[in-house]
Chain A
């Protein structure tokens, strides 16, 4: 009985949050929300900047995701493989402690780190270095790195022994085994981990707040410029909206971000289901 209450309470809380956004926000979702009064093609080919629409924020978030995944993926994969296949037990316990701590650091502290590095470089290296898209992406990469390391490591380690040992027993080297057997077999697990990491990139606000996101910037022209991002836009509107139409855009943006997160989650879930099917019938 108590459990039923808890379950209902949680579900109701969730429904309230989503329902509130949907009821208030669904009317706000249309092309004008994203492109304002700019023509679609003009916006896409950067002929005109979009003002008052979400287009620059969406592009900013997308480029942020691409860049930080680009940084974190190779590093995370390599460390994950090392931890799963190469490291001695002692080394492994040290490195995985580090990874756990990194995963536990509040995102604002990571942002503070990114910010202070920027200022450091600005002072001692080149006065052309500012908080910018690149810095934000690098800091975010630190934030998602532990997720990628962990998923890679766990995905490889949880492969059945027969998969892990067949190729080496046939004379394959360790590297060949990793590249041609282990990674492909663990791929779907790793991919669903990456999808979740993407979700983390899309939602994080604290890091980018400190490292280069601004209220108005237009579509970023290079990785060295400031940018807009969806979650920051939502935060900005929540505290600064000046009239009901701006507030409406905030609801719309929140709903869009919610849809993106839910979509990414569904994708990860779908990939996971796929593997479960595969393991049931394969091997």
Chain B
């Protein structure tokens, strides 16, 4: 009798565990049940790996929802959401007060990220001072030899003005110094990474979340940019990742952002190399 009771108790406990586990794993996506329609997202390119994975999960759970994702950079994201061309506009910098006022933007911050200078892993120089970095980007230092490397010109890569990554890097790492016009221009964090991977003499900058073994982060004033140093505040070139909507988010956009901020979404952000906010 007693034994049986224990067994039943065990079984009950197990079902409760299984059941609650089931709720847990589906809870985030449950919100999308019965929804249909199109959600348009554009803007910041640092966000894309996380956004794409979330979109994939949602569209797999509910094929009636279509989520379209475009890049363009933070500036494009803010302006496109402001003009009503997309439902969510991502940005890797805080929208300016003028932008917030003009477009009535509501800002959702869902992760913290850093911006790190990167070089090709074959490059022996993986440490720079802020001064050296500024001199390189303004065109004063043009050869790796000056820094003790090979006798090859430094191929600088940069982003267009609308990039939030550029904005943060320019403000916090370059001290708003000049960026040399002779630099090569690329259109996104992904493009920056593959450009640096392909060019042994490159110097560029990407979101810390994008760093893997195909590019080498450059220590700045002896602080290596990584998730930990960004978290502790040691590495200063940090920023938030934001999703903006025109007015308070409603409908699919709200559910999408809720999912980003849920424990599942935050876990995903961490998996993709960012620091969750919750």
A contact set with B: CB distance below 8 Å: 46-49, 51, 119, 122, 127, 130-131, 214-218, 221, 225-226, 239-243
Decide: A239 and B85 in contact? CB cutoff 8 A.
no
**Is the beta-carbon distance between A225 and B63 smaller than 8 angstroms?**
no
Chain B, residues 45-79, CB within 8 Å of chain A (1/0): the string is 00011001001100110010011111100000000
Which residues of A sit under 8 angstroms from B85, Cβ to Cβ? 122, 130-131
Q: Are A215 and B69 in contact (CB under 8 A)?
A: yes
> Which secondary structure dominates chain A's binding surface?
loop
Residue of A130, A216, A217, A243 most packed against chain B (CB within 10 A): A216
Evaluate contact between B69 and A242: CB separation under 8 angstroms: no
Instruction: Tell me if B191 is interfacial: C-beta within 8 Å of chain A.
Output: yes
User: Which chain B positions have C-beta within 8 A of A130?
Assistant: 40, 85
Shortest Cβ distance from B20 into chain A, in angstroms? 28
Contact of B69 among A127, A214, A239 (CB under 8 A): A214
How far apart sit A119 and B84, CA to CA, in the bound complex (Å)?
11
- Among B177-197, those with CB < 8 Å from A are 186-188, 190-191, 193-195
A216 and B84 contacting across the interface, CB-CB below 8 Å: no
Q: Are A51 and B56 in contact, with the CB atoms below 8 A?
A: yes
Quick one: given A130-B85, A240-B188, are A215 and B71 in contact (CB under 8 Å)? Answer: yes
* Across-interface contacts of A49 in B (CB, < 8 A): 59-60, 63
Q: Are A48 and B191 in contact (CB under 8 A)?
A: no
In the complex, which of the residues B59, B66, B69, B191 contacts A240, with contact meaning CB atoms closer than 8 Å?
B191
Q: Are A217 and B188 in contact (CB under 8 A)?
A: no
B59 to chain A, nearest CB (A): 5
- Check if A48 sits within 8 Å of B60, measured CB to CB: yes
* The one of A48, A221, A240 that contacts B38, using a Cβ cutoff of 8 Å: A221
Q: Which residues of B contact A242 (CB under 8 A)?
A: 49, 190, 193-194, 210
Residues of chain A within 8 A (CB-CB) of B38 are 221, 225
Is there an interface contact between A47 and B194, defined as CB atoms closer than 8 Å?
Answer: no
Q: A239-B191, A239-B194 are in contact. Are A226 and B84 (CB under 8 A)?
A: no
B83 touches A (CB below 8 Å): yes
Could you show 13 A-B contacts with beta carbons less than 8 Å apart?
Answer: A48-B60, A122-B84, A216-B55, A216-B67, A216-B69, A217-B66, A225-B66, A225-B68, A226-B70, A240-B191, A240-B194, A241-B190, A242-B193
Using CB atoms and an 8 Å cutoff, list the residues of chain B in contact with chain A.
38, 40, 42, 48-49, 52, 55-56, 59-60, 63, 66-71, 83-85, 186-188, 190-191, 193-195, 210, 214
A217-B68 contact, Cβ under 8 Å, with A47-B63, A122-B83, A225-B38: yes
For B52, the chain A residues whose CB sits under 8 A away are 216
Nearest chain A CB to B95 CB, angstrom units: 21
What are the 8 A-B residue pairs with the smallest beta carbon separation, nearest first? A240-B190, A226-B68, A214-B70, A239-B191, A217-B68, A216-B69, A49-B59, A51-B56
A residues within 8 A CB of B42?
214
Q: How far is the CA of A193 from the CA of B59 in the complex (A)?
A: 40
Chain B's closest residue to A42 (CB) is B63
- Considering the chains assembled together, what is the distance between the CA atoms of A109 and B42 in angstroms? 23
CA of A131 to CA of B40, assembled, Å: 11
A218: nearest chain-B partner, CB-CB: B66
Q: How far is the CA of A131 from the CA of B42 in the complex (A)?
A: 13
Q: How far is the CA of A47 from the CA of B70 in the complex (A)?
A: 24
Q: How far is the CB of B155 from chain A (nearest CB, A)?
A: 16
Which residue of A has the minimal Cβ distance to B37? A221
User: Bound state CA distance, A136 and B27, in angstroms?
Assistant: 38
Measured between beta carbons, the chain A residues less than 8 angstroms from B66 are 217-218, 221, 225
Cα-based distance from A130 to B80 in the complex (angstroms): 10
Contacting residues, chain A, for B190 (C-beta < 8 A): 239-242
B188 touches A46 (CB 8 A): no
Additional pairs, 6, CB under 8 Å, beyond known A47-B63, A214-B70: A130-B40, A131-B85, A217-B66, A225-B68, A240-B190, A242-B194
